[in-house]
Each structure stands twice: as structure tokens, then as C-alpha cells.
Structure 1
Amino acid sequence: MGNGRYRTVFHTALTPADAFDTARRELRSWLVVKSRHKSIDIAAYDAGETRLGDGIVLLHNAQAEEGGAQTRQWQLRENRGGGYWLSSLVVHAPAKAKDPQQRTWFWIDVEYVRTADGDAEDRSAPKAAIPRIARQLLGVVDARDHWAELAAKPILIRPDRIDDLLEVLTDDERRLPTVVASPHNRVPFDDWRKTIEGVTRFLPGLASLYILDPPAAHEFNREVGAAFGVWGGAVRTYLPGLDLALDEDAARHRVLSSTRIEADVDRSARLLAGLPRRLASGGRLPKPLSRLSRAAVASAVSRSESSDGTASPDLDLLLEERTKILQENNELRELLELADHEERRLRAEIDDLQNGLLETAAELEVENQKNVDLFNLVRTLRKRLEDAGRAEEAYLPAEETTRLPTQLPEVLERLEELDRVEFTGDVDLVWKLEEKAQSSTWAQTTWRVVVALQEYADSVARGKFHGDFRRWCLEPPSGASAIPVGKVKPDESDTVRKNAKMRRKRELPVPRDVDNSGRVYMGAHIRIGGGAGMSAPRLHYYDDVRGTGKIYIGYLGPHLEVKSTN
């Protein structure tokens, strides 16, 4: 268990039949390669036998859920030392495609399990390397972590794919880290690309991997802003829940410098893989897989081990014995499923605590640095005043202080201070967000957003700016309020716009003088905060500055349903 385990989970658009065929083909290929170094009987595997050699057992189980979903599970156990290596491959397919982007899930686990009779002096367990079957599958299927591409090597990003990368980074459904490498200032790009492939070699399946070419690096850093950029050959790990609207969030997304990489590529590779491995190993499984249980395979073990007895000539006794075995197996399955459920619950709690610890540590680092910076600034300004003969002014209290709101409903109340931004949405949804621990952070982010919208709208109304809000954030006038441009989405995807149900959810209230129907489509939205899944807040707005002179916020609440969400 723990950090020694390798785990990867990804989905594909394969049909169930193709997914199962691919899994069987790559599993056999993997075993063939292993047989060159271990006594694995491939003929026994082809014959459907469970024992493939001395201390080597392969179990296969197929499940059909109510509703038509299908699952295939393979579990390879290899005895070694005071324990055994346990390798699991699970393929889960839905009953039928609900949309063209069907999700068929692959789940690979490899870990060393120490048995009770193992060496008590050796408490440590060996760390699982990336299994060859994981690299094989990543090489033959279009593996995805929602929108992120999972590949065996970093994917090249040119300028025309910057928007795709930004979508990946700010995607709330992303479960795994995204690792982005930048070009080196002095090393030829092709040579540095090979170095990056070496330093990311322990990451396939644990993170989505990308490398920016020189023109793309310039564009990328302009889009995400200085706090979130990566340059000079550095590699940056962007964790899930990235919030480009908060510079304070930048410390959470660690940078590995080119200097450290060049000094020791091997050590850098292990350092880079540490956090992604921990997150993948201890993180929550996607919802379609969280209902599955390894107890199903365990019960298959019980059935295979209880099928070696000799047949009884007494049919009644045979049926009685069979009924008894089935009853015992059912009881065992229930116990194993209960234990598996408890294990998943505890892992979810550990994952939450781990993520909370990372965020708290990052916030503490940022606040400490800000305090130091402010202290140095105040000390410098006071010294300048003293040197100018104005020492009496150096210690006067501030004439004006600005307090950021700490509650989202307070943001709505303070909109009265702004004359060009109006909230027309459901207040109850805003109060719903107050139930979350991050609500105070979301409130401060939302206030920064509405202030930026106000200044943008005022500038447009005065004829001083002629672009849209995204352009305003991309190239803000000197001294103007703006937010990171990666947070601003001018419209929804084609999938959402063309789906009647999804589009209706974005037809939001406005005054009648904006539209006679009292509602308009608000595809433009802003990502307010991080967080996983549908709880991450969104602000949908309608820009009518060139009409009624205002911007209308028709929705502030949890992420609206999208087509790609299961």
C-alpha cells in the first residue's frame, strides 16, 4: 500500500468490445515479455488455466452489472520473498454510449504485499516500477484524464494548441497533475526535449505530460501570467484545482529548475515523480470505478480453490455441499465488499487531508513571503521619508483601508457600490456555496472579478476600450483591474451550445429592456475557484455594455452540468 504502489486510471472512447480485446491482447503481450525472465507458461495462459508457474497465479473475472455495464478483471499474483507482487487490470465499460464521447475505463494497480510470515525485521516494501503493460496501453489507446492526454512521453505543444493546454490546466474534472516543460534558453530544443523525456520517464500514467516549443512558451506564459508561468527549461507540475485567478495559488504548483535537472537528471526524475505517485496512489477513484470491488476477484479465487474436490456419487450430498459452498462464498463476498468499502472511505479521507495539507502549506508560504515583502516596503518608504526630512509622516496611520468581502452574499450586497455590474441570478445558489470550506476565498476572488468587470464596462462605455472582457484581461490598461485571461471563457464548447438541455441551463434572467423574454443565453463564464467536480464555482455573465451599459451576472454557483460529465 501507500507510496510503493503504482496506480493509473484513465478513460478512452473505445467500445466495450474493443476495450476488452485490447486489454486481453496487451495482457498476453506483457506476459510473453515477462516469460523471458520468469517461468511463466504462456501455453497455460492460452488454455485458460489459472496457474502459470511456480507461485504464479492469474485470475480472471467478468461481471455484468444491473443496467448492462460490464467489467473484466485480471489479477496476477507472483510470490517473492516474504510476500507477493499483486498486479491488477480492470476494464469497465458502460451499458451503452450516452454521447459520442463514451468513456470506457482502464485501471491498473501494482503493489507488493508483505505476508504475515514475511521478515518482521524488514518493514519496508519495494516500490513498484511503471509496469510495461501500462506503457503498452498508453501507446495503443487514446488515454484521457478527462480532457488531458495521457501518453508515455511529453506531448509537443505548438502555439495553435495553447488553448487546448489551458483547457486542460483549468479543467475541474482533471484528477491527475499536469506536467509542463519549457524550452531551454541555451540548449537546442531537440536536445532538451530528449532530456525532458528522461526526467519525466517515471510519470507515464501518473500525470499528463507536455512540452512547449519556443514560440508556444512565450504565448503560454503571456496567457497564464507571471505567477503561473514556466520558462528557461524549467518543468512545472500543475496540480488539480488550479486557480489562475489567485496569485496565491501559484505556490502550490511546484517548479523544477533547469539547473537542478542538468545537475542530476536521475535524481530530478525521482523528485518530479514523488507527488504525482502519492496523489495517484491515494486519490479517489472516478465514480464509475468507485463502485467496483476487488472482492469480486477474491471471490473468484475462492471458487477456483474450492473446485478441486472429487465428485460425489450421491447427487443430494453434492447439491447440499454446493449450496453450502455458495452460501459461504456469498458471505465471504459481503465481508470483502464491506472491507473494500471501508478501505475506499479511509483512502478518500486521507486524500482530502493530504490535499488540504498541501494547500495549507502553500498558502502559508505565500502569506509569509507577502508579510516579508510588505515589511520591507514599509521600512524602505519610511527611510525615504526620514531622509527627505519628513520623519513625522513616516509613522502616520493609513488614511484609507480596503476590506475584501469574506462571504459570497456580501459580494452581492456590495455590488451596489458598482454601477455597471448587476446580479440577476438565484441568490439561494450563492448561499449554497457558503457551505464549502473555500467560500471565503471564492468571495474574495469573485470581488476581484466584479471589480475588473466594472472597470472594463466603464472603459467601454466611455469609448476608451473596444474589445471584449477577455481582451481586456489579456492586455489590461496600465493600472487597471484584471484577472488572469485563462479564467475567462467567452463561450461554451460546441457540445454544450448544440445540446438543447445544456443550452437551456445557460439561458439566464436579465431585465426586460435587455431582452423581451427576460432571459438570454450566457455562454461566457469565469472560473471562480478550484476544487474537484461539479462543486467548483462558475460565474456566467452577459455583456450588454454596448446596449444598456451594464454587465449582467445571471449565475453564480456550482459548475453547471456539461455533456462530458457522467
Structure 2
Amino acid sequence: MLGFRSVFTTHRERNHLQPLVREQLDRWIAGPKGWDPSALQENRWATIGDNVRALLLQHEGQDGSTSTRVRIVETKPDGQWIIQLTVHAPNARERAAWAWIDIESPDPDSEDPRSRPRLAGTPRFFAPILEIIDAWDGAARLTTRPIVIRGDEVDEVHRALIDTERRGVVFVAGNDDSLPSVPWTNRIANLTRFTIGMSSCYVLDGEATQLLNARLGQAHAVLPGRLRTYRYQVQPDSVVDGLRHRVLSAERIADDNEQPRLARVLASNAQLQALEQPLPASVARVHRMLERIADDMLVHRLGDVSPKRPSLVPSQPQAAAVETRESERRQADASAQQGMLLDYLKIKVGIDDLTVDRIDELVRLIEVGRSSQEAQNDIASRLAQLQAELDETQKAYHDVKWQLDDEQIENRDAVERLTRSAETERTLRHRLASMGQAEVAWTAQPSESDVARPDSFGELLRWLPRLQHVVFTGDPDCAVELDSKDPLGAWASKTWDALLVLQDYAAAKADGRWDRDVHGFLENTPDGCHDWPTRRHARDESEEVRTNPAFRRKRLLPVPASVVQVGRIFMGAHFKIVKSAMISPRMHYYDDTARSGRIYVGYIGRHLPTGQTN
């Protein structure tokens, strides 16, 4: 499956892009990998290392353009890793040269539809390329370090954000000059270190932050001390569009303990956007052309029966020398062994009279067979790659269709709940007005804290200590991993709603307003408490899950030793946060209000395995 993709252009080094990129690739092949770059042969498959085959394609178009592709297939115990590097230099001076790098990694568990994508890291040879090449993603610069922007340079950032040709994300860090420039830039560099080649990163000074925000408007602004991730096709005139571009809070950026997790999240966001974007039309055209050449070459190799090595028929002087040496060896008591080998060869090939011509013909046939075997192996590898691409495309299609159906259900449910809330609000306001409380009815508004919601699971985890009766004991990474699947933060917001329900439930039990379980609380929610649809809550798991050792083990979740001495307890009760294909986030909890007055949330993350998902 595709695990890494980067496409960049350059005008400055358009005439030197191919040799520069090839030089860095060869260094990587010979250095860290220990393979043999000199074994690469133009328009042929070659073995460059143990279990490593490589193809070098060179093509010159009728328009004077040149294209180079190197495809390296490394077979490991877990499957095939494929690195493909394509460089194209058009003949027209006004057009930019471009390079495209793909890495395909094995599916970690193709039998499990819930398996997480296996994202590959930035290849080692890529950073040195960006150090010596003026590389661009549309109007956004690709570098190995954040670009510091002063006030008079803010036009570059604005162009990068609104550019419709940009494929990757752009990270922008704001400042008000209260943050020291070098340490602040270094911290942002550390957070974005895994996104090299897939994203652009700009660190603004105070003046640049003010100027950019004035152009973008409040919905798209980046505040001082924060880092904002701008996805493709930013629309400054749309307030709703601002929800697509996530903001990393100053508190999380300043927390040293959060740094590793945040770096992984930002890398995942950058990778997923890079993978979901279609190739530019010009790149796709060159790709199709090179694939046709490579496939035709494989097919033609099966019919190529010409000898691949020089004839083994010795020249007359060589024959005489050979005869002399053989005579000497025979004199050294080797004649018996030679005779046995010749007799064995005659029996195996069914030839009574072995001549030099016959031996040369046998050698030629051996070479043809060896070449055909290599061609068959390379074709089998190519067919496996095409099948994997087809499977991935079909899976993506079904996932999108499934997710679309789920989103339509979610939207309809949200509209129905919004409609009911609006009707309830209207009814209550009219009743208050009829009681002489019209001013209260039409001016009362909830406080900011009541309507505030976290926009990511990382932020939600930081908000959890606000809840007196709810304690999170689970793995934070399982929750944060959901952020890459939820670009608008809707899942985190809904999860917070479920947590508020648990907080109100535990508080109501503590002050004697409620004495039943959580599900009963949802069926008859007391006045002033947060509510939740009962159909999105499960008192317990099904009997199949409870009795299946593998499924049950996944739901043995952590609690303090004061609850159970072993530190883990089965949490079958859970909230169904949202329905979304095979991810469908869930929140599992243990109700300990009868003893400690608390509720322990042991898991927030993607749907745990069941008989339907496995």
C-alpha cells in the first residue's frame, strides 16, 4: 500500500535536477543500504542487492523532454517495499522540472479490515535533495527547516495558503515577538521534523502574524504561540472553511511531554493529505507513458532468446592452451573424475557425442532459461504490484462509499436533534413570555464555557482534568490517532459531550438526585443535565464478545488498584461516538460511582474488534 508520496517542482535547477537527484539516490543505495548502484542498467531490471531488484528507465520524448525512473523492489519477510523515483525535465524553458517519490509498504494485516495504514517515513536521500534544490509545492517552498518570515515577506505565505495548485499542508506558527525567535523556531522544527518533503512550514514574526491575520480574517487567523495546519484550497472568505484548518494550542506546544505525540500527529496529517491528493495531470501523463514502456519491456524479455554472454567457443590459441592445461591435470590423476562428469552430463542431456558446438548450444539455452526465469519473476512482481494497487483502489472506493452512507445517517440524526432542540427552545421561550418573562426568554444565552468544545482529541485529553468525577485511564495514543481521521474535530466534540453526560450522571448520584445506572440516566435525563441518545449507548457487550477470549482481552482496560487489585477490569459499557466505516470511535468506561463516586474511562479510540469487524 502507498505509504509516502512527495511531488515537487523546480525552475532554478530544471536543467540539473536529474543528475542531482540521481547522485543522492546512488549515495543512499551504496551507503546506508549497502547495495550496488553500478548494477543499474538502462531500461533493464537488475539485481542490486540481496533480494533487491531495480529498474532504471530512461526516455527522451519527441518534444525534447527527458524522463528518468528508478524503481527499487526489496523483498523482506513482511512483504515487498517499493521505492519509485521519477524525474522529468520538459524541453520548454518556461516549464518547471519536477520530481516524484513514492514508497509502497506491505499491508501489516491484509486480512483485518480494521488494520491501520502503514505510513512510511521520509526516505533518507530526500532531505539532502531539498538542501541543494530550490523545491516547491505550488507556491509553497519545501525545505528541511521552518522558513522564518518577516513582516515584508508575508506575501509569500499568503500566496502559498490560497494557491489552488498546492498539494501538501502548510504549517504556520504565529508570534507576537514575546517568544524568542530561535528557540520558538527550533521547537516548531522539532514538531514538524517527520513531515519533510510533504509539507511547508513558516514561522512568522510579530508583524508578519498581524499582517497575515488581517488578510485571512478571524476564521483563518493564526494566533501568537500557536501552530495552524492549513489544508489545501484555503478559502479566506468562508467562515465554515476555517474549521478545516486545525490549530495546535500554545499549552500543548509548550508541554515537553507532548512533543513526541504531536510530532506523530502532524506527520500523520501531512502524510494522509499527500496520499489522498490526485497526481497533477502532467505527472500522471508521464507516469502512464513510463508504465507502458516498463510493461512492454517485461513482455518482450520473455521472447528474447539471444545469448546474454559472449560465446564460450574458445579461439584456436585458447583451445590449445586449454588442451595443454587439461593434459597436465590428467597427468595429475584428474582424468577419472573428468570422465565421470562427462558421462553424467551425457546421461542428463541425452547426447552421446559432446562437441564444442553442442556445449555452446547448451550454454546458450541455459542463459535463455535464466533470463526467462528472471523475466517471469519480475513480471510476477509487477502483477503483484498491480493487484495490490487494484485492491487498494477497491478498498478505498468501498470505504468512501461506506463512510458517505454513515455521514448521511449522522447528518440526518444531527438535523433531527437540532430541529427538536429548536422546537424545545421555541416552546420554552413562549412559555416564559406568557409568564411575563419575555426579556429573560429572548436574552438568555449560554456561557462560553458551556458551549466550548475541544477541536481535537489531543485537546480533549488536556480538558479531562476539568471533570471532577471522570478519570481517564486509557492509552492517549489510541485517542490522538483519531485526529488524523477527523479533520474537523467533530468526533472529539461528540466525545466531550459523552464525557459531560458521565460527569452529570456521577454528580447527580453524588448529591442524591439519581440512583439508577447510566442507561437509565439517558432514558430519563434529569433537568439541567447533558443528554445523549440511548441508541448510541450500550450497557454491555454482546455475549459473543464477552465469551470470546480475544475480544474480551481487548476490553480488559486499566483502572487503579484501589478498584481491582490486578489493575484491569472488563469494560463492556460504552458510548458509540459516531458511525464511520471500520473506525467508528468508541468510548469504554467502568461505573464505580457506587463505591468511589467516579467513572473510569479506559478507552477512547477506534472500534475494538468483534466478530463483524474481524
Q: TM-score, normalised by structure 2?
A: 0.50
Structure 1 residue aligned with 2:66: 70
Indicate how the Cα distance of structure 1 residues 379 and 146 shifts in structure 2: closer, same or farther if over 3 A, else same: farther
Partners of 2:217 and 2:103 in 1: CA distance: 39
Indicate how the Cα distance of structure 1 residues 44 and 298 shifts in structure 2: closer, same or farther if over 3 A, else same: same
The correspondence for 1:211, drawn from 203, 206, 212, is: 203
SS at 1:6's partner residue? strand
Structure 2 residue aligned with 1:40: 35
Task: Answer yes or no: is the 8 Å Cα contact 1:71–1:91 preserved in 2.
Answer: yes
Deviation per residue, 1:283-341 (Å, 9 max, x gap): 21111111214634455566679687667989xx99xx99xx9xx99x99999999799
SS at 1:60's partner residue? strand
Deviation at 1:215, TM superposition (A): 1.7
**Structure-to-structure mapping, 1:133-144, within 5 angstroms:** 133-144=125-136
SS at 2:125's partner residue? helix
The correspondence for 1:112, drawn from 99, 105, 115, is: 105
**Structure-to-structure mapping, 1:441-452, within 5 angstroms:** none
The question of 1:272 aligning with 2:270 is answered: no
Deviation at 1:104, TM superposition (A): 1.1
Letter in 1 for 2:102: D
Structure 2 residue aligned with 1:19: 17
Partners of 1:349 and 1:120 in 2: CA distance: 17
Indicate how the Cα distance of structure 1 residues 272 and 11 shifts in structure 2: closer, same or farther if over 3 A, else same: same
Q: Which has the larger radius of gyration?
A: 2
Structure 2 residue aligned with 1:28: 26
Partners of 1:343 and 1:129 in 2: CA distance: 23
The question of 1:290 aligning with 2:288 is answered: no
Indicate how the Cα distance of structure 1 residues 7 and 393 shifts in structure 2: closer, same or farther if over 3 A, else same: closer
Deviation at 1:56, TM superposition (A): 2.4
Indicate how the Cα distance of structure 1 residues 130 and 394 shifts in structure 2: closer, same or farther if over 3 A, else same: closer
The correspondence for 1:190, drawn from 174, 182, 186, is: 182
**Structure-to-structure mapping, 1:37-436, within 5 angstroms:** 39-41=34-36, 44=39, 50-94=46-90, 96-97=91-92, 100=94, 102-113=95-106, 127-183=119-175, 187-263=179-255, 264-291=258-285, 292-293=287-288, 295=291, 296-297=293-294, 390=438
Q: Determine which structure has greater relative contact order: mean sequence separation of CA pairs < 8 Å that are 6+ residues apart, divided by chain length.
A: 1
SS at 2:270's partner residue? helix
Partners of 2:159 and 2:196 in 1: CA distance: 20
SS at 1:139's partner residue? helix
Partners of 1:368 and 1:179 in 2: CA distance: 37
Which is further off, 371-380 or 193-202? 371-380
SS at 2:262's partner residue? helix
Deviation per residue, 1:185-229 (Å, 9 max, x gap): 764221111010000011111122111112211221122111111
Task: Answer yes or no: is the 8 Å Cα contact 1:60–1:297 preserved in 2.
Answer: no
Task: Answer yes or no: is the 8 Å Cα contact 2:58–2:66 preserved in 1.
Answer: yes
Indicate how the Cα distance of structure 1 residues 250 and 387 shifts in structure 2: closer, same or farther if over 3 A, else same: farther
Deviation at 1:128, TM superposition (A): 1.5
Which is further off, 295-304 or 283-292? 295-304
Partners of 2:134 and 2:182 in 1: CA distance: 25
Task: Answer yes or no: is the 8 Å Cα contact 2:41–2:55 preserved in 1.
Answer: no
Partners of 1:52 and 1:304 in 2: CA distance: 19
Deviation per residue, 1:151-191 (Å, 9 max, x gap): 11211111112222112211122222211112377642211
Identity of aligned residues (%): 25
Structure 2 residue aligned with 1:494: none
Partners of 1:367 and 1:13 in 2: CA distance: 50
SS at 2:16's partner residue? helix
Letter in 1 for 2:57: N
Partners of 1:347 and 1:67 in 2: CA distance: 38
Letter in 2 for 1:232: P
Partners of 2:406 and 2:168 in 1: CA distance: 15
Task: Answer yes or no: is the 8 Å Cα contact 1:113–1:125 preserved in 2.
Answer: no
Letter in 2 for 1:10: F
The correspondence for 2:5, drawn from 4, 7, 20, is: 7
Q: Which 5+ residue runs of structure 2 have no aligned equivalent? A: 312-357, 444-614
Deviation per residue, 1:423-468 (Å, 9 max, x gap): xxxxxxxxxxxxxxxxxxxxxxxxxxxxxxxxxxxxxxxxxxxxxx
Partners of 1:346 and 1:237 in 2: CA distance: 30
Indicate how the Cα distance of structure 1 residues 362 and 141 shifts in structure 2: closer, same or farther if over 3 A, else same: farther
Indicate how the Cα distance of structure 1 residues 362 and 261 shifts in structure 2: closer, same or farther if over 3 A, else same: farther
SS at 1:50's partner residue? strand
Letter in 2 for 1:62: Q
Partners of 2:210 and 2:169 in 1: CA distance: 22
SS at 2:261's partner residue? helix
Task: Answer yes or no: is the 8 Å Cα contact 2:227–2:249 preserved in 1.
Answer: yes
Task: Answer yes or no: is the 8 Å Cα contact 2:71–2:83 preserved in 1.
Answer: yes
SS at 1:129's partner residue? coil
SS at 1:92's partner residue? strand
Deviation at 1:61, TM superposition (A): 0.8
Deviation at 1:142, TM superposition (A): 1.3
SS at 2:67's partner residue? strand
Which is further off, 197-206 or 218-227? 218-227
Task: Answer yes or no: is the 8 Å Cα contact 1:236–1:253 preserved in 2.
Answer: yes
Indicate how the Cα distance of structure 1 residues 169 and 127 shifts in structure 2: closer, same or farther if over 3 A, else same: closer
Deviation at 1:262, TM superposition (A): 2.6
Structure 2 residue aligned with 1:460: none
Indicate how the Cα distance of structure 1 residues 391 and 107 shifts in structure 2: closer, same or farther if over 3 A, else same: closer
Task: Answer yes or no: is the 8 Å Cα contact 1:57–1:76 preserved in 2.
Answer: yes
Deviation per residue, 1:120-165 (Å, 9 max, x gap): 9997785321101221222211111121111112111111122221
Deviation at 1:278, TM superposition (A): 1.2
Task: Answer yes or no: is the 8 Å Cα contact 1:86–1:113 preserved in 2.
Answer: no
SS at 1:132's partner residue? coil
Letter in 2 for 1:177: V
Deviation at 1:93, TM superposition (A): 2.2
Task: Answer yes or no: is the 8 Å Cα contact 1:248–1:363 preserved in 2.
Answer: no
Partners of 2:189 and 2:411 in 1: CA distance: 31
Indicate how the Cα distance of structure 1 residues 81 and 90 shifts in structure 2: closer, same or farther if over 3 A, else same: same
For the aligned residues, what is the CA RMSD? 5.2
SS at 1:197's partner residue? helix
Task: Answer yes or no: is the 8 Å Cα contact 2:60–2:67 preserved in 1.
Answer: yes
Indicate how the Cα distance of structure 1 residues 218 and 288 shifts in structure 2: closer, same or farther if over 3 A, else same: same
Task: Answer yes or no: is the 8 Å Cα contact 1:256–1:272 preserved in 2.
Answer: no
Indicate how the Cα distance of structure 1 residues 22 and 368 shifts in structure 2: closer, same or farther if over 3 A, else same: farther
Partners of 2:182 and 2:423 in 1: CA distance: 45
Task: Answer yes or no: is the 8 Å Cα contact 1:60–1:72 preserved in 2.
Answer: yes
Deviation at 1:88, TM superposition (A): 1.0
Which is further off, 300-309 or 163-172? 300-309
Partners of 2:181 and 2:428 in 1: CA distance: 43
Partners of 1:271 and 1:335 in 2: CA distance: 34
